[in-house]
């Protein structure tokens, strides 16, 4: 794998480290600053609103100024968000903290395109491995993120969370330095200005429907349960350090499989691997319903992470097969917008669901979503295979 893909993997690792840091502390900060318990996860929701708002502009901006310059812009907005959050915490201003997480979300929205950049930077035929390698950068994040969340609390005496956003600021600055070393392939303009199908025709393809439904469900279920977990554990009497350890297990589950997910897809096919991810989601839900010991939380979140990895990497590969170069920007933008619109709603509802419905009921409500995604994959995946077989005949 070439150096550009490796550098993109490291940038993804830094982005994910920051995301884990945010998962570990943002809900707890919301509980501390929010004027009402129902608004506990509002800062998390603002983060995903920012992410959703960035999805369409990010793809279109990168089409004009290039991938690397687009990532520069996204990291710069993330830096502004981290600084705003520090000021908000020092002033105990809940609305300003929500603004800070909104800006961080915009930065993350640009960063979600690292995996597509890896596809463009790799050698032909290496797309699934490139996606997996970039996602595997999260293994480093799984170790750094929770530990940063714990140890950053000691940076400022009398303030548990300002240190976390100071550390986040450092991560974004380091990402800018790595980006300066990346050399993306020169884009062939003859391919990007060709004839493009209408967007609705692209979106109605069986392959695109399979990809976007799997992407929406896998990310929505993962974010909702992951966001609610520290709150549920605190309600059950567990310490912050215990919750951080559970998140670490979860993130290892999200990214360690990336070292071999691409090989599994090449050997067994993308649809069976994604269906396996759905089965792991079902296992997570079963564990959540079985009990609420620390080991229940650990194993459930581990399965949640692996299930997300299988389903989301598969969805990413599926969507890259549904467009031409001329259609790339608008198709990627539509895919990201649809996925993170649902994720935003999930993050907004996570705090309310955990507080009002309880951990078990919140987990149970994920069951129909997972089953829906598995049925869509089975139905439209078969149609896609039939279409591909007919086209190659």
Lowest mean pLDDT segment, chosen from 135-139, 239-243, 326-330: 135-139
Q: Among residues 105, 350, 103, which one has the least CA distance to residue 230? A: 350
Coil, helix or strand at residue 93: coil
pLDDT for 308 beyond 90: yes
- Residue 381: predicted pLDDT: 65
Name the residue with higher pLDDT: 148 or 384.
148
- Residue 310: predicted pLDDT: 92
Residue length, the chain?
A: 393
Residue reference for tokens 């005949």:
393
- With cut-offs at 50, 70 and 90, classify the pLDDT of residue 389: low
CB 338 within 8 A of CB 216: yes
- Percent of the chain past pLDDT 70, that is, above it, reads 91
Domain 3-183+203-388 sits in CATH at 1.20.1250.20
> Which whole number is the average pLDDT over 25-40?
79
Summarised one tens digit per residue, pLDDT across range 332-354 is: 888 888 887 887 788 777 777 87
Residue reference for tokens 């620390």:
294
- With cut-offs at 50, 70 and 90, classify the pLDDT of residue 157: low
Whole-angstrom CA distances from 26 to 30, 87, 94, 262 are: 6, 15, 11, 32
Lowest mean pLDDT segment, chosen from 313-317, 377-381, 385-389: 385-389
Residue 294 burial (10 A CB sphere; 0-12, 13-18, 19+): middle
Distance, CA of 393 to CA of 192 (rounded, Å): 28
Is-above-0.75 flag for pTM? Answer: no
pLDDT for 391 beyond 70: no
Distance, CA of 313 to CA of 262 (rounded, Å): 8
């Amino acid at each position: 794998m070439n150096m550009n893909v490796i550098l993109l993997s490291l940038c993804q690792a830094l982005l994910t480290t920051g995301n884990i840091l945010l998962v570990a502390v943002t809900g707890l900060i919301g509980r501390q600053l929010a004027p009402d318990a129902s608004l506990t996860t509002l800062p998390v929701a603002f983060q995903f609103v920012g992410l959703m708002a960035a999805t369409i502009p990010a793809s279109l901006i990168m089409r004009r100024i290039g991938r690397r310059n687009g990532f520069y812009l996204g990291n710069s907005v993330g830096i502004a968000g981290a600084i705003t959050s520090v000021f908000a915490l020092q002033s105990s201003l809940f609305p300003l903290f929500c603004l800070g997480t909104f800006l961080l979300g915009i930065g993350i929205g640009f960063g979600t395109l690292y995996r597509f950049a890896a596809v463009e930077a790799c050698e032909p035929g290496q797309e699934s491995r490139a996606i997996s390698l970039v996602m595997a950068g999260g293994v480093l994040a799984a170790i750094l993120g929770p530990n940063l969340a714990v140890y950053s609390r000691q940076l400022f005496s009398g303030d548990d969370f300002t240190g976390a956003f100071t550390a986040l600021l450092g991560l974004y600055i380091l990402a800018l330095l790595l980006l300066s070393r990346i050399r993306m392939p020169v884009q062939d303009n003859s391919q990007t200005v060709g004839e493009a199908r209408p967007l609705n025709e692209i979106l109605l393809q069986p392959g695109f429907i399979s990809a976007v439904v799997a992407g929406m469900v896998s990310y929505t279920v993962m974010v909702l349960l992951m966001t609610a977990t520290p709150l549920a554990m605190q309600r059950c009497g567990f310490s912050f350090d215990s919750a951080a350890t559970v998140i670490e297990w979860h993130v290892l589950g999200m990214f360690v499989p990336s070292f071999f997910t691409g090989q599994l897809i090449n050997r067994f096919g993308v649809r069976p691997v994604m269906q396996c991810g759905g089965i792991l989601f079902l296992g997570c839900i079963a564990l959540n319903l079985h009990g609420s010991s620390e080991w229940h939380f650990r194993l459930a979140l581990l399965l949640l992470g692996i299930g997300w990895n299988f389903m989301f990497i598969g969805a990413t590969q599926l969507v890259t097969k549904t467009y031409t170069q001329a259609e790339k920007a608008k198709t990627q933008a539509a895919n990201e917008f649809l996925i993170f619109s649902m994720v935003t709603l999930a993050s907004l509802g996570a705090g309310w669901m955990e507080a009002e419905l309880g951990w078990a009921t919140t987990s149970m409500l994920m069951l129909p979503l997972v089953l829906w995604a598995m049925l869509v994959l089975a139905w439209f995946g078969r149609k896609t295979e039939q279409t591909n077989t007919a086209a190659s005949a």
